[in-house]
C-alpha cells in the first residue's frame, strides 16, 4: 500500500488544501498505517457523491470521520478520468477479477462479536458491464496523406457473442499504442514540415478521390482541418476529463442549493449549459425554452411563440383543468392545449423530459422544475462543473478534510465487527487488519454482497456511451457551446436518450474536439441501445450519408448498474450501517443528495445538514501560537496564492475571463456564494 506523502510530513489531521490540484488528484496526508487512530465517530467506505456529502456533513458538525476508498481515485462511479486514465479504467474492467483472499480476522474479535465480510473485488464487475471501445482515428500521424490499405477503424461491429474477445483485442491495441507513443512523437517532430507541404497539395488538387470514403469525404468537406489522430488523443489525454456518469446540475436543484448553503461551491467553477437541443425528423434543432430563445427562434411562427410562452406561464400554477388530467398521459393534456406538434414534442421530450405515457401530474411537475431553474444563471436550467462532474464529490471530500476528516485511498474495510446482541456495528477491520471502532458505518452499495441488500427487480441498469467527436452536432457562431440534447425514442421500444455535448472550455476535452455523453435506461446492452442513435447523428464508418455530421474519433460503450434500484429499507445489515447507492439514471443529482441527507438525519437528527462553512479568518486552530498565528497565516496564504496564480496562468488563461464574468453574473443573481474565491478557502498548515 502506498499512501502519498503529503508536504506537512508530521501529522494526519490537516489535509493539505492546495494539494487538490487541477487534475483531480488529492495528495493524501502523510500517514503510516499505525498512525490511523483506532476510534472514529463515522467510517465511510466509498467516495461516491452521496458518501462524500455524508462525510462533509459529519465532519462539518464536529464528528470524527474516516473516509476510505479501495480505488486509487476519488468519486467511485462518479469519477472523471483523463483519456489515459479512462483507458486504464477500461483495462481494469477487462481483467479477470482476482479471487479474494479470504483472510480470517476472527482473532480480533471479542466476546459476543461476529464478522460481516464486505466484498472487495478489484473490478467492479457487478456495476460495470459490456465495456466496448471503438477507435475511428488513424494510428498514424499523417492519416490524410498516407492512403492506408485498411479503413482506419480498429474494431468492426461486434456481435454479442464475440464481445469479450473484441474487448480484449481493443485493449491490446491500445496498450500497444501507448508503447509506440514515444517513437511516434519523435518522428512527428521531423515529419511536420513535410506534412504541411503535402497538406497544401491535397487542398489544391484533391488527388485522392478513390480513397476510402471516410477520409475522402473529410478532405472534401473540410480540406484545411486536419483529422485528429489517436496518438494525438493520447498526447493530449490530460486535457480530457471524462465522466463515468453524465448528469447536469439543475440550477435550482438540491445539489446547487447544497453547494451554496454549505459554501462548498467555492471549491469549484461552473459553466452554463448554453442550449437545449433535440433530435426531430432526422435533424438537430434548438429547443426554445427561455424567453430569449423563444424570441430568437426561427422555427416557430409568432403564433406558436405566443402559445408556447402562454403555456409555460400558465403551467406554473396548478389549475382545476390540470387536475382533471391526473392519471391520464401528459401527452393527452398537451394535445388538448392545442399547441401543435412542434410545441408538443418540445414540451414532452425536451422540457418535461418524460415519455408519452407519463401521467400528467408527473409531467407537469418536471415541466415546472425545468422552468423554475431557468434564468437563475442563464438561459437554460442547467449548470455543468468545469473539469467534469468528478469534481463535485471531491469538493465535498475537501470540505470534510478541512474540518478534520481523514482520507485514505487504496485502503478499504474488509469486514465489520458486529455486536450480536445489539445488532450494531462496533468496529471495522481495515484492509491491513487494523481494528477501528466506530459508532456508524456508511458504505457504498458495491461493497455489500448481493445476499445482504435488497434490490428492485428486475435489476435496472443504465446504458452509457462516451464519444469524442471532431465537431458539434449543431454548429453555431460560437464553437464553445454546452448542449443538452434530448433524443426521443427513434423507434417503438427504443429508449429515450439523453445526450450532453461538452466543448473544450468546460475543460473536459482537448481543443478541436467535443465530448459527447449518451445515457439511457438499458433495454439491451449499451451498444445495442445507443449505437443506432450514434450512427444516425454522427459520422462513423457504419453510418451512411452522414458526411455533414461530426465524425466520431473514439467511443466507449458500457452498462452501469442503476443506483435507483437500491431499496431504501430491508437490507440484512446492522442497524447503524447505512448504504449509499451508485449513480442513478436521472439527469439531476436529487437522488444522491436526498440519500445523503436522510442518512445524516437518521444519525444526527438534531444537527444542521451542511451549515455554511465559516470564512478562513474566523477559524482558530488548536496548537497555533495565537500571537504569531495571524502573521504566519497571511504569509502562507500569499505563498499559496502565488502558486495558484501560476497554476491558473498555465492552465486556463483563456477561460479565466469568462469565469470572472460568470461570477459577476452570479453575484448579480443573488447567488454570490457560487463563486470561486480561492484565497478564502485556504487553510494553513503548521
Closest to 158 in 3D by CA, of 547, 542, 637: 542
Asked if 489 touches other proteins (CB under 8 A), the answer is no
Residue pair 341/211 in contact by the 8 Å Cβ criterion: no
Residue pair 281/487 in contact by the 8 Å Cβ criterion: no
Residue pair 468/555 in contact by the 8 Å Cβ criterion: yes
Collapsing DSSP to helix, strand or coil, 503 comes out as: coil
- 8, 13, 123, 543: residue in contact with other proteins (rule CB under 8 A): 13
Q: CB under 8 A: which stretch of 180-188, 204-212, 244-252, 659-667 binds other proteins?
A: 659-667
Residue pair 528/495 in contact by the 8 Å Cβ criterion: no
User: At closest approach, how far in Å is the CB of 295 from other proteins?
Assistant: 5
Q: CB under 8 A: which stretch of 72-80, 123-131, 399-407, 578-586 binds other proteins?
A: 399-407
Collapsing DSSP to helix, strand or coil, 353 comes out as: coil
Give the footprint of other proteins on residues 140-169 (CB under 8 A): none
Of 380 and 540, which CB lies nearer to other proteins in the complex structure? 380
Collapsing DSSP to helix, strand or coil, 344 comes out as: helix
Asked if 403 touches other proteins (CB under 8 A), the answer is yes
Of 570 and 623, which CB lies nearer to other proteins in the complex structure? 623
For 548, other C-beta atoms within 10 Å of its C-beta total 10
Q: CB under 8 A: which stretch of 17-25, 42-50, 266-274, 396-404 binds other proteins?
A: 396-404
User: At closest approach, how far in Å is the CB of 379 from other proteins?
Assistant: 8
User: At closest approach, how far in Å is the CB of 292 from other proteins?
Assistant: 6
Q: CB under 8 A: which stretch of 343-351, 588-596, 597-605, 660-668 binds other proteins?
A: 660-668
Asked if 523 touches other proteins (CB under 8 A), the answer is no
Collapsing DSSP to helix, strand or coil, 483 comes out as: strand
68 grid coordinates: 476510505
Residue pair 513/136 in contact by the 8 Å Cβ criterion: no
Asked if 539 touches other proteins (CB under 8 A), the answer is no
Of 338 and 601, which CB lies nearer to other proteins in the complex structure? 338
CA dihedral sign, ordered 46, 593, 459, 572: positive
Q: What is the dihedral of CA 597, 600, 603, 607, to 10 degrees?
A: -100
Of 302 and 491, which CB lies nearer to other proteins in the complex structure? 302
Of 307 and 539, which CB lies nearer to other proteins in the complex structure? 307
User: At closest approach, how far in Å is the CB of 632 from other proteins?
Assistant: 16
Collapsing DSSP to helix, strand or coil, 636 comes out as: helix
> What crossing angle do the helices spanning 590-603 and 49-60 adopt, rounded to 10°?
40
User: At closest approach, how far in Å is the CB of 549 from other proteins?
Assistant: 27
Asked if 238 touches other proteins (CB under 8 A), the answer is no
Angle (CA) 612 618 619, round 5°: 90
Report DSSP state, residue 105: -
> What crossing angle do the helices spanning 254-262 and 49-60 adopt, rounded to 10°?
30
Q: CB under 8 A: which stretch of 9-17, 75-83, 254-262, 325-333 binds other proteins?
A: 9-17
User: At closest approach, how far in Å is the CB of 520 from other proteins?
Assistant: 33
Give the footprint of other proteins on residues 252-291 (CB under 8 A): 291
Q: CB under 8 A: which stretch of 147-155, 204-212, 293-301, 585-593 binds other proteins?
A: 293-301
Give the footprint of other proteins on residues 404-423 (CB under 8 A): 404
Cα separation, 618 vs 614, whole angstroms: 6
Residue 365 CB-density burial (10 A; 0-12 exposed, 13-18 middle, 19+ buried)? middle
Cα separation, 252 vs 331, whole angstroms: 25
Asked if 109 touches other proteins (CB under 8 A), the answer is no
User: At closest approach, how far in Å is the CB of 41 from other proteins?
Assistant: 12
Asked if 664 touches other proteins (CB under 8 A), the answer is yes
Collapsing DSSP to helix, strand or coil, 216 comes out as: helix
Give the footprint of other proteins on residues 619-658 (CB under 8 A): 619-623
Residue pair 276/287 in contact by the 8 Å Cβ criterion: yes
Q: CB under 8 A: which stretch of 119-127, 366-374, 598-606, 617-625 binds other proteins?
A: 617-625
Give the CA radius of gyration of the chain.
26
- What residue has cell string 445523503? 596
Buried b (16+ CB within 10 A) or exposed e, 467-488: bbbbbbbbeeeeebbbbbbbbb
Count residues contacting other proteins (CB under 8 A)?
A: 30
- 32, 102, 224, 303: residue in contact with other proteins (rule CB under 8 A): 303
CA dihedral sign, ordered 400, 405, 408, 412: negative
User: At closest approach, how far in Å is the CB of 488 from other proteins?
Assistant: 25
Give the footprint of other proteins on residues 54-93 (CB under 8 A): 62
Of 282 and 670, which CB lies nearer to other proteins in the complex structure? 670
Q: CB under 8 A: which stretch of 7-15, 181-189, 265-273, 591-599 binds other proteins?
A: 7-15
Of 93 and 307, which CB lies nearer to other proteins in the complex structure? 307
Of 149 and 623, which CB lies nearer to other proteins in the complex structure? 623
- What residue has cell string 503510516? 32
Asked if 9 touches other proteins (CB under 8 A), the answer is no
User: At closest approach, how far in Å is the CB of 307 from other proteins?
Assistant: 7
In this structure, what are the phi and psi dihedrals at residue 408, rounded to the nearest 5 degrees?
A: -135, 120
Asked if 32 touches other proteins (CB under 8 A), the answer is no
Q: Which residues bind other proteins (CB under 8 A)?
A: 11, 13-14, 62, 291-292, 294-296, 302-303, 305-307, 309-310, 402-404, 614, 618-623, 661, 664-665, 668
Amino acid at each position: 500500500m502506498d499512501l502519498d506523502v503529503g508536504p506537512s510530513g508530521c501529522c494526519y489531521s490537516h489535509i493539505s488544501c492546495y494539494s487538490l490540484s487541477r487534475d483531480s488528484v488529492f495528495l493524501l496526508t502523510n500517514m503510516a498505517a499505525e498512525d490511523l487512530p483506532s476510534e472514529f465517530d463515522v467510517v465511510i467506505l466509498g467516495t461516491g457523491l452521496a458518501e462524500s456529502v455524508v462525510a462533509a456533513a459529519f465532519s462539518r458538525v464536529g464528528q470524527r470521520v474516516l473516509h476510505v476508498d479501495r480505488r486509487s481515485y476519488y468519486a467511485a462511479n462518479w469519477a472523471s478520468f483523463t483519456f489515459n486514465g479512462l483507458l486504464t479504467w477500461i483495462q481494469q474492467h477487462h481483467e479477470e477479477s482476482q479471487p479474494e483472499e479470504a483472510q480470517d480476522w476472527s482473532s480480533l474479535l471479542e466476546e459476543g462479536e461476529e464478522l460481516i465480510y464486505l466484498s472487495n473485488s478489484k473490478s467492479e464487475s457487478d456495476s460495470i458491464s459490456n465495456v466496448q471501445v471503438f477507435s475511428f482515428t488513424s494510428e498514424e500521424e499523417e492519416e490524410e496523406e498516407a492512403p492506408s490499405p485498411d479503413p482506419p477503424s480498429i474494431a468492426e461491429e461486434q456481435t454479442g457473442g464475440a464481445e469479450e474477445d473484441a474487448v480484449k483485442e481493443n485493449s491490446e491495441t491500445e496498450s500497444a499504442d501507448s508503447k509506440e507513443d514515444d517513437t511516434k512523437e519523435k518522428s512527428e517532430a521531423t515529419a511536420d514540415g513535410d506534412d504541411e507541404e503535402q497538406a497544401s497539395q491535397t487542398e489544391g488538387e484533391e488527388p485522392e478521390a478513390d480513397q476510402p470514403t471516410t477520409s475522402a469525404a473529410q478532405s472534401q468537406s473540410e480540406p484545411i482541418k486536419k483529422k485528429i489522430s489517436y496518438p494525438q488523443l493520447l498526447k493530449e489525454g490530460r486535457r480530457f476529463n471524462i465522466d463515468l456518469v453524465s448528469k447536469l446540475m439543475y440550477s435550482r436543484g438540491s445539489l446547487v442549493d447544497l453547494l451554496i448553503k454549505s459554501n462548498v461551491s467555492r471549491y469549484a467553477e461552473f459553466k452554463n449549459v448554453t442550449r437545449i437541443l433535440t433530435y426531430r425528423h432526422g435533424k438537430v434543432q434548438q429547443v426554445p425554452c427561455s424567453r430569449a430563445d423563444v424570441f430568437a427562434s426561427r422555427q416557430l411562427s409568432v403564433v406558436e411563440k405566443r402559445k408556447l410562452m402562454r403555456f409555460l406561464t400558465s403551467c406554473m400554477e396548478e389549475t382545476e383543468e390540470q387536475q382533471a388530467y391526473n392519471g391520464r398521459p401528459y401527452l393527452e393534456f398537451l394535445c388538448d392545449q392545442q399547441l401543435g406538434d412542434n410545441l408538443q414534442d418540445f414540451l414532452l421530450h425536451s422540457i418535461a423530459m418524460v415519455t408519452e405515457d407519463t401521467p400528467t401530474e408527473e409531467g407537469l411537475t418536471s415541466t415546472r422544475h425545468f422552468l423554475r431553474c431557468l434564468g437563475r444563471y442563464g438561459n437554460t436550467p442547467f449548470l455543468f462543473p468545469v473539469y467534469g462532474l468528478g469534481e463535485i464529490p471531491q469538493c465535498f471530500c475537501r470540505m470534510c478534510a478541512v474540518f478534520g476528516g481523514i482520507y485514505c485511498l487504496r485502503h478499504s474495510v474488509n469486514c465489520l465487527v458486529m455486536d450480536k446482541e445489539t445488532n450494531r456495528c462496533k468496529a471495522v477491520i481495515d484492509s491491513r487488519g487494523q481494528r477501528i471502532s466506530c459508532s456508524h458505518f456508511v458504505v457504498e452499495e458495491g461493497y455489500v454482497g448481493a445476499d445482504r441488500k435488497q434490490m428492485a427487480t428486475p435489476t435496472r441498469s443504465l446504458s452509457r456511451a462516451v464519444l469524442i467527436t471532431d465537431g458539434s452536432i449543431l454548429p453555431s457562431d460560437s464553437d464553445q457551446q454546452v448542449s443538452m440534447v434530448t433524443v426521443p425514442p427513434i423507434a417503438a421500444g427504443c429508449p429515450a436518450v439523453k445526450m450532453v455535448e461538452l466543448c473544450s472550455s468546460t475543460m473536459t476535452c482537448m481543443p478541436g474536439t467535443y465530448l459527447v455523453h449518451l445515457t439511457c435506461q438499458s433495454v439491451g446492452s449499451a451498444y445495442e441501445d445507443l449505437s443506432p442513435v450514434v450512427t444516425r447523428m454522427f459520422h462513423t464508418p457504419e453510418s451512411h450519408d452522414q458526411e455533414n455530421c461530426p465524425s466520431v474519433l473514439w467511443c466507449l460503450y458500457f452498462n452501469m448498474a442503476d443506483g435507483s434500484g437500491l431499496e431504501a429499507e430491508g437490507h440484512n445489515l446492522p442497524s447503524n450501517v447505512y448504504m449509499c447507492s451508485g449513480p442513478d439514471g436521472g439527469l439531476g443529482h436529487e437522488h444522491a443528495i436526498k440519500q445523503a441527507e436522510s442518512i445524516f438525519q437518521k444519525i444526527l437528527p438534531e444537527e444542521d445538514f451542511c451549515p455554511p462553512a465559516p470564512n478562513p479568518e474566523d477559524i482558530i486552530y488548536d496548537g497555533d501560537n495565537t500571537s504569531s498565528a495571524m502573521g504566519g497565516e497571511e504569509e502562507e496564504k500569499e505563498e499559496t496564492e502565488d502558486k495558484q496564480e501560476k497554476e491558473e496562468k498555465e492552465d486556463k488563461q483563456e477561460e479565466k475571463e469568462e469565469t470572472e464574468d460568470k461570477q459577476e453574473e452570479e453575484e448579480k443573481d443573488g447567488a454570490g456564494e457560487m463563486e470561486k474565491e480561492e484565497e478564502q478557502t485556504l487553510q494553513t498548515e503548521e
